[in-house]
């Protein structure tokens, strides 16, 4: 699955960056839209982007001053929305803060591919994958 990684050295100390990441209103300022978020694991997240995109997701991890993780659905100009995991990790660098961003594509939960166990090396297995509608 595809992955995007970025690092940025931010001109502010860790406390300030963490406040920026956890304040609903300021989160929207840099994510680029109106954000509504219940910032605890399992909490709901939505971003109504200024460009008309609407992202929805769930908070996965909140480690104060260290890490935030979400799983979200992003609409794309074409085709199905993509589901991905977003991890923002912070590291103190004196008066600056290193931010590491990783967004990794996840398989859509609505359609899960089940491969028969040991497919291919069992003569009785038909080896063909089957699709099921299992959620997550």
Binding mask 76-95 for another protein (x = CB under 8 A): xxxx--x-x-----------
- First CA to last CA distance, the chain: 16
Identify residues 112-131 at the interface with another protein (CB under 8 A).
Answer: none
Rg over alpha carbons for the chain, rounded to the nearest Å, is 19
> Using the 8-state DSSP alphabet, how is residue 80 labeled?
S
Helical H segments across the chain, by residue range:
14-22, 24-31
Alpha carbon distance 63, 52 (integer Å): 31
Q: Is 106 helix (H, G, I), strand (E, B) or coil?
A: strand
Instruction: Tell me: does residue 74 bind another protein (CB under 8 A).
Output: yes
Of 40, 51, 113, 117, the residue at the interface with another protein (CB under 8 A) is 51
Q: Is 66 helix (H, G, I), strand (E, B) or coil?
A: coil
Interface stretch with another protein, choices 28-36, 37-45, 61-69, 125-133 (CB under 8 A)? 28-36
> Using the 8-state DSSP alphabet, how is residue 28 labeled?
H
Residue 89, phi then psi, degrees to nearest 5: -115, 135
Instruction: Tell me: does residue 107 bind another protein (CB under 8 A).
Output: no
Identify residues 52-71 at the interface with another protein (CB under 8 A).
Answer: 52-53
Instruction: Tell me: does residue 22 bind another protein (CB under 8 A).
Output: no
Of the pair 6, 118, the CB lying nearest another protein is at 6
Interface with another protein by CB under 8 A: which residues? 1-4, 6, 8, 10-12, 16-17, 20, 26, 29-32, 51-53, 74, 76-79, 82, 84, 99, 101, 103, 105
């Amino acid at each position: 699955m595809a992955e995007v990684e970025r690092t940025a050295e931010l001109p502010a100390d860790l406390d300030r960056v963490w406040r920026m990441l956890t304040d609903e209103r300021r989160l929207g300022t840099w994510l680029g839209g109106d954000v509504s978020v219940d910032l605890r694991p399992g909490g709901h997240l939505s971003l109504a982007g200024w460009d008309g995109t609407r992202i929805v997701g769930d908070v996965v991890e909140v480690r104060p001053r260290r890490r935030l993780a979400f799983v979200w659905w992003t609409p794309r100009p074409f085709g199905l929305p993509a589901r991905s995991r977003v991890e923002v990790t912070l590291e103190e660098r004196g008066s600056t803060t290193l931010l590491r961003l990783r967004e990794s594509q996840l398989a859509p939960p609505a359609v899960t591919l089940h491969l028969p166990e040991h497919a291919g090396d069992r003569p009785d297995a038909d080896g063909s994958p089957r699709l099921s509608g299992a959620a997550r």
